[in-house]
A = this chain, B = another copy of it.
Amino acid sequence: MNIVFIGSGRLATNLAKELYKKSYNISQIYSRTIESATLLADIVNAEATDKLIDIRQDAELYIFAVKDSVLPQIIRQLPSNDALWIHTSGSISINVFEHSVKRYGVLYPFQTFSKERSINFNDVPLCYEANNRSDASILNKICASISDRIYELSSEKRQYIHLSGVFACNFVNHMYDIAGEILGEQNIPSDILLPLIDETASKIHSLSPHKAQTGPAVRYDKNIIDKHIMLIEDLRVKSIYTLLSESIYEVNKKEK
């Protein structure tokens, strides 16, 4: 199968490398800058281009892995053809393709990617959908060739998955960031957090987050909560502390 990638960012890089490893033929990488396109193209033995009009028309699969905000306009600029076009976004409906091409779909890897780290794709949940059964089956085969966790899901469901990922990844990472800042201001090295962070994540493999919840908020220890709020100087961080403590207490109170 002959594949063109539109995009060379974190997700494109990780997915292209994985497909290449699994012997898919990646013929071309498009990116807004030729440097970025070339960087990835060299790894997966493909051509590089930074011009939309130079995108090859002979591929069987076009994978759009670009920012959500530019995806619709890039799709509109490409000439239609008979190939399968898919995007990789959590929140954009499959219908973004409907006026541009006949065969289309989505392949959304539910993972956070960075260029510096390589991911074990076997574990990455892949959510796919297509506008027709035969392309759904093509996507199913591609997904199954790189991961053990594959889900055929509608655009409707997919956006809830993306939303849950904002909490479980983006917001979690922001909590790590704030925790590190608090320590940094006291000249305490932030790696003291790592064992706690690791255990908090591993714990929920065997215990539901509900049951795993600990800390001053869950028992509403007003003394500690007030002390903590006084320790925090940044008003933004203060309001996060207050809101999340209230929320933890709310959720727990309901249970009892």
Contacts and interface: CB of A to CB of B under 8 A. Distances in A.
A178 interface: yes
Contact of A248 (B125, B159, B160, B170): B170
A112 to B, nearest CB: 6
A213 interface: yes
Interface string A205-245: 11111101111111101011001100110001101110110
A192 B151 contact: yes
Interface residues of A, number: 91
Interface string A159-193: 11111111111111111111110110110100011
Given A149-B192, A159-B231, A244-B240, A215 B169 contact: yes
8 contacts: A67-B221, A110-B192, A112-B200, A114-B203, A151-B192, A165-B179, A167-B176, A197-B204
Interface stretch (A36-44, A79-87, A115-123, A134-142): A115-123
A52 interface: no
Contacts of A112: 196, 199-200, 203, 212, 214
